[in-house]
Structure 1
Amino acid sequence: MRSPKFWGVIYFLTGVLFTYLAATSPGNMWSFYTILLMLFAAYNISISFKMFVMAGRMKRKDQ
């Protein structure tokens, strides 16, 4: 299994990608597609923060 830091980076980059896609989507800001992409981005970025916190806790536990 890969480290939580690796998964944190993957989730963060996915969240950034979803944010970029939402920002460049055609139509207005309140379209269904844009809101859905921003929800996915917020979810992925929050999971990445949890993974970074978990990696820090694991590092402190090993010391």
Structure 2
Amino acid sequence: MRNPVTWGLIYFAIGVIFTYLAASSPGSMWSFYSILLMVFAAYNISISFKMFAFSLKLKKDQK
């Protein structure tokens, strides 16, 4: 089985990259490109939190 902490870190890093790209995109903050990148970033960061919570649940169930 894959390690959920590793995947959580990967999803979190991708979310941070998308956030950086949205913040440094040319034009206004409300452009379609910026909003789309922020939606992807929010999705990836939420998945990373779910992975971290799943990891804690696995550790708790193993005890």
Asked if 1:31 is matched to 2:31, the reply is: yes
Q: Extract structure 1 runs of 4+ deviating beyond 2 A.
A: none
The percentage of aligned residue pairs carrying the same residue is 67
Structure 1 stretches of 5 or more lacking a match?
Answer: none
Question: Deviations 1:16-61 (Å, cap 9, x if unpaired)?
Answer: 0000000000000000000000000000000000000000000000
TM-score calculated relative to the size of structure 2:
0.97
Structure 2 unaligned spans of 5+: none
Residue 2 (structure 1) shift: 1.9
RMSD of the alignment, in Å?
0.6
In 2, Cα distance between equivalents of 1:17 and 1:30:
18
Alignment of 1:47 with 2:47, yes or no, is yes
TM-score of the two chains, using structure 1 as the length reference: 0.97
* Partner residue in 2 for 1:19: 19
Mapped to 2, the partners of 1:2 and 1:61 lie a distance apart of 17
